[in-house]
Structure 1
Amino acid sequence: MSEATRSLRNAKLGVVALVLLTLAGAYHFGIFAQVAEPKILAETLVARGAWGYLAFILAYTVLQPFGVPGTIFIVAAPLIWPWQTAFALSMIGTMCASVVGFSFARFVAKDWVSARIPARLRKYDASLERNAFQTVVVLRLILWMPQVLHSFFGVSKVGFWTHFWGSLVGYTPTLLLVSYLGSEMFDASGRIQPGAWPILAGLLIASLLIAALHRAYERRRSSGDLRSAERGV
């Protein structure tokens, strides 16, 4: 094993150890309990005053890629701050978490992560090769920010900046909606209010429509490529 390979392996092991230590520290100091639900998270951040902004982004960035649901953070944000602030902080936190999840999968644990990507995501490999930006946008609109999607993009061939900007576009509608209508969709405990169901239903329908249009576009494009290839032969 060359010195460069050994150094790279040691660096990767160091990053993994740092992640594990960070998560262990978060558990030891009760941070997981504080972000267990939006109400508790909101109370914790309010108690920190202006430092709550930084605490929100750091907690979101570090914890979401490794298991804590991002919805806890974006639901808590409009319970604390005006919708403009909630949207800005939610977007920053979501993008930072996505970059961490993407980078960890690509640069640190690619082989381990790649073996655990579900088949339902692997079917999008061809779409990413043909039209990476559009596919990233659609998948973020439909699936949003599960950790496995961060990892899938990380082990795929999509470029970093394509993933970054595609994710930004895909996240924007939902984050804007939740931030602006947060007080109408969720109560002080972060539970969904009855009036939120029509909003969520509309969002689901819109996502399914976008997915259907994307699939139709991909089928049409594949058929066109096939006809072109046959004419070429």
Structure 2
Amino acid sequence: MDRGSLLKIALVAVVVSLIAWFYATEGYEEVDPEAMRAWIRNAGAWGGLLFVVAYSCLQPFGVNGLFFLLSAPLIWSPTDAFVLNWVGTVGTGVFSFAVARFIARDWVQKRLPGRVRRFDDRLYSRGFMTVLLLRLVFYTTPTVQYALGVSRVQIGPFILGTILGVAPFTLLTTLLGIRVSVWLEAHPVSGWPWDQIGPLLVVTAVVIAAIGILIVRKWRSRAVDVSSGTGP
């Protein structure tokens, strides 16, 4: 087993251990979502700024954007939640774009194959429309984020296409978050049967991790077979 697989297994083990510890020590009884929400609200503009910065900087490195999109309506009013989600989503696009362009653009541009270069030319000549369509379809998928950064698309069309392209899905997700907020008000977290669902969460996490590792190992094995000419 390679080093990367061992690292993933270790990470899963740590997460499962933390969940088990949280359940065993009855730490869930100390969780007070209302107090956390009040603290962020009382922070005023600083709370909103912290949310936008965290969303912008963490999503490109693997933190699922849905975590932020669904959390905002639990804290702020629907209008404020949408605005913060929108700004944060644009922020994560700009941050990814800047990082990729600063670090890897020159190196990638020298090695683009012909087919990809034709698409890159389209990004340069029709940047706004191309970025708009990419955002409408792929939203903030990390691969697309970084690909735009290493492309020749200009910053103006990129930002405008991103602002407009992410708006529909951001609105829909915020509306879903509002529904979740209403449901949680009727079913507070403190009233959940943690003694029953705690073990289920641990087992579910282990099963998902095991399936994920098996899929990755199978995919890698098939890729090696194909590259070596032994595959179908």
Q: TM-score range by the shorter chain?
A: 0.5 to 0.7
Please point out which of 66, 69, 77 is paired with 1:74.
Answer: 69
1:184 aligns with 2:179: yes
Residues 84 and 179, structure 1, Cα contact 8 Å, conserved in 2: no
Overall identity of the aligned pairs, in %: 37
Residues 46 and 52, structure 1, Cα contact 8 Å, conserved in 2: no
Deviations 1:57-98 (A, max 9, x none): 121122112221212111111122221101110111111111
Which residue does 2:133 correspond to in 1? 138
Structure-2 separation of matches of 1:160 and 1:40:
43
1:47 aligns with 2:39: yes
Deviations 1:25-78 (A, max 9, x none): xxxxxxxxxxxxxx9999755433324212211211221122212121111111
Gaps of 5+ in 1: 1-38, 190-233
Normalised TM-score (structure 2): 0.54
Structure-2 separation of matches of 1:162 and 1:70:
23
Letter in 1 for 2:49: L
Letter in 2 for 1:93: G
1:103 aligns with 2:95: no
Structure-2 separation of matches of 1:150 and 1:58:
17
Gaps of 5+ in 2: 1-30, 190-232
With over 3 angstroms needed to count, the CA separation of the structure-2 counterparts of 1:86 and 1:164, relative to structure 1, is same
SS of residue paired to 1:89: helix
Higher relative contact order (CA 8 A, sep 6+): 2
Letter in 1 for 2:48: Y
Please point out which of 152, 157, 161 is paired with 1:157.
Answer: 152
Which residue does 1:9 correspond to in 2? none
Letter in 2 for 1:184: R
SS of residue paired to 2:97: helix
SS of residue paired to 1:145: coil
SS of residue paired to 1:154: helix
Structure-2 separation of matches of 1:138 and 1:70:
19
Q: Give the number of equivalent residue pairs.
A: 151
1:168 aligns with 2:160: no
SS of residue paired to 1:109: helix
Comparing 180-189 and 98-107, the one that deviates more: 180-189
Which residue does 2:14 correspond to in 1? none
Normalised TM-score (structure 1): 0.54
Tell me the CA shift for residue 184 of structure 1: 2.7
With over 3 angstroms needed to count, the CA separation of the structure-2 counterparts of 1:122 and 1:161, relative to structure 1, is same
Tell me the CA shift for residue 150 of structure 1: 1.5
Letter in 2 for 1:67: G
With over 3 angstroms needed to count, the CA separation of the structure-2 counterparts of 1:126 and 1:115, relative to structure 1, is closer
Structure-1 separation of matches of 2:125 and 2:88:
29
With over 3 angstroms needed to count, the CA separation of the structure-2 counterparts of 1:69 and 1:130, relative to structure 1, is same
CA RMSD of aligned residues (A): 3.6
